[in-house]
Structure 1
Amino acid sequence: MGEKTRTHPGAAGRATSAGRPTSLRNVVLVGHSGAGKTTLVEALALATGAVNRAGRVEDGSCLSDYDEIEHRQQRSVQLSLVPVDYGGIKINVLDTPGYADFVGELRAGLRAADAALFVVSAADGVDGATRMVWDECAAVGMPRALVITHLEAARADFDQMTRLCGATLGGDDPDAVLPLYLPLYGTAGADGHAPVHGLIGLLTQRVFDYSSGERVERAPEADELPLIEEARNRLIEGIIAESEDESLMDRYLAGEDIDVKTLIGDLETAVARGTFHPVLAAAPAAEGARQGLGTIELLDLIARGFPTPAEREAPAVTTPDGKPRPALTCDPAGPLVAEVVKTSSDPYVGRLSLVRVFSGTLRPDETVHVSGHGLEDRGHEDHDVDERIGALSAPFGKTQRSLSHAIAGDLACVAKLTRAETGDTLSDKDAPLLMEPWTMPDPLLPVAIQAHSKADEDKLSQGLSRLVAEDPTMRLEHNQGTHQVVLWCLGEAHVDVALERLRSRYGVQVDTVPYKVSLRETFGGKAAGRGRHVKQSGGHGQYAICEIEVEPLPGGSGIEFVDKVVGGAVPRQFIPSVEKGVRAQAARGVAAGYPLVDVRVTLLDGKAHSVDSSDAAFQTAGSLALREAAADARIHLLEPVAEVTVLVPDDFVGAVMSDLSGRRGRVVGTDQAGHGRTLVRAEVPEIEISRYAVDLRSLSHGTGRFHRSYTRHEPMPPQLASKLREQEENGS
């Protein structure tokens, strides 16, 4: 492990720009909604003196969840950065939303951090979504630790919860997830629940008593040592198993008393390497207290056990045109490479970009190159422009603390980057680079919107472009088939926040309307039609007659036009006019107003007038002929069918397959995906899965994921087609 600056318990100070990467720690808090992440962030800020006992920063605002929408919804909906100083170590704490709809914010936090702190409620346990994120972190070797909260809850059991964490998160090695401290309980109250007022250090065998409101260290009493013997032995064995000193286990089994300093050093190495995951306990400070239970122990772990940015491998980089470049090193003197991990709008400052600097040093007022992968399918364009950096700052509540620079490994907010969006790379304008993108979840819940008024309509386009620039998990679609403006989101809460931001930030009020899928029409059999457009009411008249035959073609054939006119019945110059009229009518539809596809239209005969025939007259005749043919034919309504792949734990496979069948889906196969998960493949009409993002989450308890892609159009069952036509005729 690289050089680290050791900390001293109780050291506190103001968050500042760090002097070197070894004095930086970037940690992201992960956990389900309500686990206590935001409360823990506030407790850490209080313990370091960053906020007062009322949880307020200098301007009197709340430290986190200060956003108006978060206040209204009573939950975190965005990634927030809280930098604190602990004994000369700058700790960038990234608080993420726990609700599944805002997983994009979580992934941005994982990208910006070097270690993850999983917050688990003793009252609720480890949910499926948390296990999935744990597995993702394990796949990339990200160091992880756990904090058990809500120990004050009825029936909360720290020992039972740590065993559960070991069993569910430890995988094949549950001894890689073990507690460093055990809670010290007081006298049980009338409800039979004993409050936690201290912690017993398993390695040091010291007691840290918080009952007075301050952290007091003392020697254990005689009746307290037996409580920790079994847990201490298991912890020591777990640490030694991860030690690089292979002789340590033999010495321990031979009865040698291993030095505590050696054990702590090996523990810190294993944590930073991502092979051992300590469990701690935490509780908010009591009224009037400066330190919450476990906060100093947690700060010690972050500062001493979590890796510095220099110890983590940076994402791969290429030139903007895709040529590979050497791996980055976390060197403040190296080439500048930073990444926008979050974009937001401040009503006073304007657009703010939260960036992680991976190499070099970022300074205000310098010109950088902005390179972006672009997500055209989500309304994001490629970027390849130069921009001038605005002011640098560190966010703290609603305030922005000015920074003179941001070195490699640090995070900072950049003002007034008008072109850069989330995921874009900032680099030297003379040697631009592009970072490998991180995986973003696909938005799979559509919501169709329209402007509430004419004034809103004028502002809608700009408001939507700003909205999707902030959130790469959102996709904007202007559906040409249904003529709807559609926002694709991750869930209902995501929709609510998006529409509220449109209203409150950009002054655009919108209404939601029923989402439509792109239906089409086709002929069910051969049919003939005659188009007659004759008008002679004085002056120059109009004269065109054409006869056509229509027959169905295989799916995906489109419209095929064939000329079989003989003897010049329709002059050659007007045959393209007939085709133009036929295609125009096909685009408008012939029965229910949906585009006509997969037919061959054959022009057989017609009549013309030497004076009154014209291009416009034969276009009209072609259109009338197609409509007459449709009037005497069976018209099938075609619906889009999607190929759907659903990844779920094995326990939910049966329920998922049954649900897909109930949606008129055809299950075409299943594959084992490892770790007790199965991939279910099916073909399902798109009209049946417009809300599948919400329904699957409920069906699989938040553990299921799915992907959809258009495959073809096929006939809709007649009874459903009739019902749909009736609904449209009634305007419902």
Structure 2
Amino acid sequence: MPAIPVESIRNVALLGHAGAGKTSLAEALLGAAGAIPSRNGDGVLDYDPLEKEHRHSIKLACAHFDSEGVRVHLLDSPGYPDFTGQAIAALDAVETAAIVVNAQNGIEITASRMALWAQTRKLCRIVVVNKIDAERIDLQKLLEELQAAFGRECLPVNLPADGGKRVVDCFFNLGGEATDFSSVQGAHRALVEQVVEVDETLTERYLGGEEIAPADLHDAFEQALREGHLLPVLFVSAKSGAGVRELIDFIRRLAPNPREGNPPLFEKWAGGDAARAEFFQSVPGPGGHVLAHVFKVEVDPYLGKVAVLRVHQGTVAAGMPLYAGEVRKPFRVAHLYAVQGKALEPIGAAGPGTICAINKVDELGFDMVLHDAPEDAAIHFRPLPIPHAVYGLAVRVKKQSDTQKLAEVLHRLVAEDPGLHVEHDPITHEAVIRGLGEMHLSRVMEKMRAQYKLDVDSHPPTIPYRETVTIPAEGHHRHKKQSGGAGQFGEVFLRIRPLARGEGFRFVDEVKGGVIPGTFIPAVEKGVREVLGQGAVAGFPVLDVEVTVHDGKTHPVDGKEIAFIVAGRKAFLDAVAKARAQVLEPIVALKLTVPESAIGDTSGEIAARRGHVTATGTARGGMAALSARAPLAELTDFQNRLKALTSGQGNYTMELVGYEPAPPAVQSRLMAAFRPRDEQ
């Protein structure tokens, strides 16, 4: 099968809140175009067992259909904010972002966010109002709300009629059919006036009283879409089919092909340095160097790793060698597929604009740029604004024999999900998964149990407290052990003092006269470092302390390395016991985005958690930007609380910035629970 010409391709992502009907709409489009059996009851796009069980999308799904010689690639995105990592990945694969709005619920949080993110990625945007045949809805009022939220450039391309049972075109149709509100003539006039504003010649013709035919408006229409000067609004009912064929017709005739959309956001990183990135202009022609971008990865038990990619330049063909990002060794494209939900359909080649898949290439990962020339290794896609994964759970297997399997499964899950991260804490030895919310991680846990048959449980991550000392002190220990054979002897005198926060650990040797042989000084330090790692008073690593060894004794026969390890460890513990040790708690810097109306409630919530706001500013779309500091221990359930305070609109990132003394009650509790190793 030859590559599809770039002019005959349309790429559309369906974006919006959960319950807007994106998946139903996508399958209605596929059914109306004859790509799948209509109303077969077996979802093509929500094919994951968890999606079927919970009846909502969890991951990005891909499909395609053909209409009068045009290939339309559809991306169906999940709508819950917890799965934003999957949804936002669609933006770099398409020219058109279709914001799907539920006519019953109006503009919801994910629709607003995705519309803004699509704008920042320079996509052409349209609004699709679904469920127009529902009861007790006011579509005229909803259109006014869309214009208030997204601008007066939100103009209807068609209008509902007969109570939402059908729609009437207002761009190509100049007739006088009755509609549920407004009129065809009024909507057509508004569209023409908006479109001609981007073209001086058309403006002059229009102001001169000339009637401009829709065919003459095509190029200006595409320009208005590119510039965000026009956001077409289309009405549809995925359930009844009203407006579905009209939406297909709009996509085919007026949605931009890859040459007509804004160029993809490729960057060239000089020397591999993202800070020196410069825009790179790709050319959507079939004959140039290959540039393709991986925007979705899925690990299938039968097909292996499946990388779904968008070709932006050149032609990818089965059998050709390609490079993955900065990897210097090429891989060979064994097979190339078109994607229809879970099904992969073999194809021979994919030209610019085509969305396709490659499988069983382990080195492929999310956000990689594939190319056929080593000199293009410095080309990357501008990083996506994927929300920071802050909600965490420590996971563990119930069977020790499953430990290695857990590591492998977590690696696969992270490869599939841009919003999921895994941390391995070297102190607590916990594997911590971090995601975009409670629902997100709940589905991850379900998948580990159901698909990978792992018996796992979870709990909140252990707070990484630390210990330090506040005053200088002396420590001493004599280790003497005789058990009938060779004995052990080592004596150590040392002193400790606190260092400034962040200086870490310093070990000083001031032993004179060889009272501790130089060969045993590293053993003393090793004993001290054991305590540094395991904790002295509460079981947490010790920070910011200087240890000076200045005296000691050995024995010509019984002086051994192990003796000085023990003596060094216990001398250090002796000193810490006199140095007013304290427990430090981790402090994080928060960067929050909340509605302006929620600044007061958010600031109060942070204060109630022993934190404080350090700065406020403005963000786009009526949002405010806050900076704050707070103890990590107080933020375990903060994400859920922030969602409640902001009606789901608030989000934040956090970064560890240091340690400060924990409250006395916390210190007492942690110290009382500690059982030193020698006492166990």
Name the TM-score, length of structure 2 as normaliser.
0.91
Q: Which residue in 2 is equivalent to 1:13?
A: none
Kindly indicate whether residue 153 of structure 2 is the aligned counterpart of residue 196 of structure 1. no
SS at match of 2:295: strand
Residues 320 and 371 of structure 1 are in contact (CA less than 8 Å); yes or no, is this contact kept in structure 2? no
CA displacement, residues 298-322 of structure 1 (integer Å, 9 cap, x when unaligned)? 1121112111112231332548954
Amino acid at match of 1:238: Q
Single out whichever of 532-541 and 67-76 deviates more from structure 2. 532-541
Q: Which residue does the alignment assign to 1:293?
A: 242
Deviation at 1:241, TM superposition (A): 3.5
Query: Is 1:328 aligned to 2:282, yes or no?
Result: yes
- With over 3 angstroms needed to count, the CA separation of the structure-2 counterparts of 1:438 and 1:577, relative to structure 1, is closer
1:516 is aligned, of 458, 462, 473, to 462
Code of the residue aligned with 2:381 in structure 1: it is E
Question: Residues 590 and 627 of structure 1 are in contact (CA less than 8 Å); yes or no, is this contact kept in structure 2?
Answer: yes
Query: What is the CA distance between 1:571 and its match in structure 2?
Result: 4.1
Given that 1:456 and 1:510 are in contact with CA atoms closer than 8 Å, whether structure 2 keeps it comes out as no
1:398 to 327, 333, 342: 342
Q: Is the 8 A contact 1:272 1:306 kept in 2?
A: no
Query: Is 1:92 equivalent to 2:73 in the alignment?
Result: yes
Which amino acid letter does the alignment assign opposite residue 626 of structure 1?
Answer: F
Query: How many residue pairs are counted as aligned between the two chains?
Result: 667
* Residue 500 (structure 1) shift: 2.9
Q: Following TM superposition, by how much is the alpha carbon of 1:63 offset from its aligned partner in structure 2, in angstroms?
A: 1.8
Describe how 1:36-435 pairs up with structure 2 within 5 A.
Answer: 36-55=21-40, 61-170=42-151, 174=152, 176-185=153-162, 195-203=163-171, 220=177, 227-228=183-184, 230-244=186-200, 245-252=202-209, 257-259=211-213, 261-262=215-216, 266-267=220-221, 269-271=223-225, 273-286=227-240, 292-312=241-261, 313-318=263-268, 321-322=271-272, 327-371=281-325, 383-428=327-372, 431-433=375-377, 434-435=379-380
Identity percentage over the alignment? Answer: 32
- Mapped partners of 1:179, 1:513: distance in 2: 50
Question: Aligned residue for 2:617?
Answer: 671
| Aligned residue in 2 for 1:531 | 477
- Does the 8 Å CA contact 2:122/2:226 hold for their aligned counterparts? no
- What is the deviation of 1:149? 1.1
Q: Give the Å deviation of 1:699.
A: 2.4
Letter in structure 1 aligned against 2:4: G
CA distance in 2, matches of 1:555, 1:487: 29
Per the TM alignment, residue 342 of structure 1 is displaced from its structure 2 partner at its CA by 0.6
In 1, the alpha carbon distance for the partners of 2:596 and 2:239 equals: 42
Distance 1:164 1:483 in 2: 51
Which of 2, 22, 41 is residue 7 of structure 2 equivalent to? 22
Cα distance 1:399–1:320, how it changes in 2: closer, same or farther (>3 A)? farther
Q: Which amino acid aligns with 2:21?
A: G
Q: Is the 8 A contact 2:167 2:236 kept in 1?
A: no
By how many angstroms is 1:227 displaced?
A: 4.7
The answer to whether the aligner puts 1:627 opposite 2:573 as a matched pair is yes
> 1:30·1:37 contact (CA, 8 Å) conserved in 2?
yes
1:451 matches 2:397: yes
Instruction: From the superposition, tell whether residues 728 and 183 of structure 1 become closer, same or farther in structure 2 (CA, over 3 Å).
Output: farther
**Cα distance change of structure 1 residues 495 and 293 upon mapping to structure 2, 3 Å threshold:** same
Aligned 8 A contact 2:322 2:370 in 1? yes
Query: Retained in 2: the 8 A contact 1:243–1:270?
Result: no
The alpha-carbon deviation at position 485 of structure 1 amounts to: 0.8
Assess if the C-alpha contact under 8 Å between 2:91 and 2:121 holds in 1: no
SS at match of 1:506: coil
CA shift in 2, pair 1:274/1:536, >3 Å: same
Query: Do structure 1's residue 438 and structure 2's residue 438 form an aligned pair?
Result: no
**Residues 283 and 541 of structure 1, relative CA distance in 2, 3 Å threshold:** same
1:34 paired to 2:2: no
Cα distance in structure 2, aligned partners of 1:424 and 1:659 = 40
Q: Distance in 1 between matches of 2:18 and 2:2?
A: 31
Q: Which amino acid aligns with 2:28?
A: A
1:603-642 equivalence runs, <5 A = 603-642=549-588
Q: After superposition, give the CA deviation of every residue in 1:665-713 in whole Å (9 maximum; x if it has no partner).
A: 1222222335533221111111222443333333222322322111111
The CA distance in 2 between the partners of 1:94 and 1:410, in whole Å, is 13
Q: Is the 8 A contact 2:21 2:238 kept in 1?
A: no
Q: CA deviation at 1:386?
A: 1.6
Q: Deviations over 1:377-433 (max 9, x none)?
A: xxxxxx443212132122224322221111111011112112111111221155543
Give the partner amino acid of 1:274.
G
The alignment partner of 2:329 has SS state of strand
Question: What's the secondary structure of 1:309's corresponding residue?
Answer: coil
Report if aligned partners of 2:617, 2:624 keep a CA contact under 8 Å in 1: yes
Distance 2:269 2:549 in 1: 55
Aligned to 1:192: none
Instruction: Give the conservation status (yes or no) of the 8 Å contact 1:338–1:427.
Output: yes
Shift in alpha-carbon separation, 1:534–1:38, aligned structure 2, 3 A? same
RMSD, aligned α-carbons: 2.6
Q: Is the 8 A contact 1:344 1:352 kept in 2?
A: yes
Counterpart contact for 1:319–1:432, Cα < 8 Å? no
Shift of 1:641: 0.8
For residues 528 and 353 of structure 1, the distance between their equivalents in structure 2, rounded to whole angstroms, comes to: 61
Distance 1:65 1:681 in 2: 39
Structure 2, unmatched stretches of 5+, are: 676-680
Q: 2:92 touches 2:264 (CA, 8 Å); kept in 1? A: no
Contact residue 328 and residue 374 of structure 2 kept, 8 A: no
| Contact 2:194–2:229 (8 Å) recurs in 1 | no
Deviation at 1:542, TM superposition (A): 1.6
Q: In 1, distance between residues paired with 2:99 and 2:673?
A: 49
For the 8 Å contact 2:89–2:296, the answer to whether it is kept is yes
Among candidates 533, 537, 545, match of residue 599 of structure 1: 545
User: Shift of residue 546 of structure 1?
Assistant: 2.1
Secondary structure, counterpart of 2:51 in structure 1? helix
Partner of 2:419: 473
1:485 maps to amino acid: A
- Indicate if the aligned counterparts of 2:132 and 2:160 stay in contact, CA closer than 8 A: no
Q: Secondary structure at the match of 2:249?
A: helix
**One-letter amino acid of the structure 1 residue matched with residue 299 of structure 2:** S
C-alpha distance after superposition, 1:463-494 (max 9, x if no partner): 22222222232222111122111112111222
| Residue type at the aligned position of 1:453 | K
Residue type of the partner of 1:486?
Answer: V
**Counterpart AA for 2:342:** K
Alpha-carbon separation, structure 2, partners of 1:65 and 1:657: 40
Q: SS of 2:265's equivalent?
A: coil
**Contact (CA 8 Å) 1:349, 1:415: kept in 2 or not?**
yes
Question: What is the rounded CA distance, in whole Å, between the counterparts of 2:316 and 2:341 in structure 1?
Answer: 23
Task: Answer whether contact 1:271 1:305 (CA < 8 A) is retained.
Answer: no
Deviation at 1:554, TM superposition (A): 1.8
Distance of 1:422 and 1:71 partners within structure 2:
25
Cα distance between partner residues in 2 of 1:311 and 1:590: 66
**Alignment partners' CA distance in 1, 2:272 and 2:520:** 51
SS in 2 for 1:310: coil
Secondary structure of the 1:640 match is: strand
Q: How far apart are residue 590 of structure 1 and its match?
A: 0.9
The 3 A distance-change label for structure 1 pair 282 and 725 is farther
| Structure 1 residues not aligned, in runs of 5+ | 1-15, 186-194, 208-218, 287-291, 373-382
Q: How far apart in 1 are the matches of 2:214 and 2:481?
A: 103
Assess, with a 3 A threshold, how the Cα gap between structure 1 residues 120 and 326 changes in structure 2: closer, same or farther: closer
Output the amino acid matched with 1:612: D
